[in-house]
Amino acid sequence: MTDTQEPYIALSGIRKGYRIGGEAIPIFSNLDLAIPRGDFVAIMGPSGSGKSTLLNMLAGIDRPDAGTLRIGSSRLDQMGEAARSSWRAHHMGIVFQFYNLLPMLTAAENVELPLLLKPLSARERRTRVDKVLDLVGLAGREKQYPAMMSGGQQQRVGIARAIVSDPGLLLCDEPTGDLDRKSADEVLEMLRFLNRELGKTIVMVTHDPQAALYAKRTLHLDKGDFIEEKRAA
Ligand SMILES: Nc1ncnc2c1ncn2[C@@H]1O[C@H](COP(=O)(O)OP(=O)(O)O)[C@@H](O)[C@H]1O
Ligand SMILES: [Mg+2]
């Protein structure tokens, strides 16, 4: 555990752009962001505003061109690709819009995948998989294949896979973008539970203002900067 006065996630002076052919496309020129441990932040913003670029940097998939990116005590901006992937495997879970489950694996096998990188016995893996499937309300569906499940159930498998290694941080990119309202609300209740009861820090990109209400605060990304939404107390 690091100093509690420090934010868990700190981005400072982040510059990030892409190059297409010879042309530079700037996304962020001087982005700052601080997220305390235990926060649940919704990130909203128009298409192309850089939401996925931001999540990819937080996930260590992509590196900023300049600036500092610290999560916990790790300086992701200074780490190479191998160190970032190992960091990712230990410290964060990612929940995707289209679940990203492997269709030829059962629910339990999908959830087990991140554990195959760890020094655990088959029995230990099984215990952890059963525990998180139970937590997301899917006990008894271990042997079902994704195609046999509803979108909401598949996303709960996705959440179980994201938390099976017990990471402190969950990154969610449009986790309810492909779900009907009822399934979306169930998935969002689940995220709220993980935040409130298990203390997971959550950063969720969403287009849905109702989904954002499940978060503790909402940041609007526009023209390379954040504007915090005011909420009635
Ligand atoms: N790998 C890439 N190469 C070039 N341009 C990219 C790449 N990824 C994103 N962009 C551009 O960066 C901008 C922000 O993209 P993105 O982060 O995906 O936005 P959002 O998720 O908010 O829709 C867009 O203009 C997009 O076209
Ligand atoms: Mg995106």
Q: Take atom 25 of ligand 1 and give the residue whose Cα is closest.
A: 48
Ligand 1 center to 144 CA (angstroms): 36
pLDDT tens, position by position, 9-46: 999 999 999 999 989 899 999 999 999 999 999 999 99
Pocket test for ligand 1, best of 14, 52, 54, 56 (most atoms within 8 A of CB): 52
Task: Assign 95 a pLDDT band (cuts: 50, 70, 90).
Answer: very high
Ligand 1 pocket check for 68: Cβ under 6 Å: no
pLDDT digits (tens, 9 = 90+) for 126-182: 999 999 999 999 999 999 999 999 999 999 999 999 999 999 999 999 999 999 999
Ligand 1 near 27 CB (within 6 A): yes
48 alpha carbon to ligand 1 midpoint, in Å? Answer: 6
- Beta bridge partners, 43, equal 205, 219
pLDDT in tens, 53-82: 999 999 999 999 999 999 999 999 999 999
pTM score: 0.94
Choose among 104, 113, 164: nearest CA to 134: 164
Query: Are 14 and 57 within 8 A, CB to CB?
Result: yes
* Strands laid side by side in the 23-35 sheet: 23-35, 9-20, 66-71, 74-75
Candidate of 14, 27, 51 to mutate for ligand 1, largest count of ligand atoms within 8 Å of Cβ: 27
* Confidence (pLDDT) at 81: 94
Helix (H) or strand (E) holding 25: strand 23-35
Q: Which fold has domain 37-63+88-231?
A: Rossmann fold (3.40.50)
195 CB under 6 A from ligand 1? no
Tens of pLDDT along 189-208? 999 999 999 999 999 999 99
Question: Distance, CA 45 to ligand 2 centroid (Å)?
Answer: 10
Q: Whose CA is nearest to atom 26 of ligand 1?
A: 48
- The residue extents of the domains of the chain are 37-63+88-231
Residue 54 CA: nearest ligand 1 atom is: 17
Nearest listed ligand to the Cα of residue 222 = 1
Q: In the block, which residue shows the tokens 């990819």?
A: 56
Q: Which ligand is nearest to the CA of 224?
A: 1
Q: Say if residue 232's pLDDT is above 80.
A: no
Please tell me the distance from the alpha carbon of residue 14 to that of residue 31, in angstroms, as a whole number: 5
Is the Cβ atom of 206 under 6 angstroms away from ligand 1? no
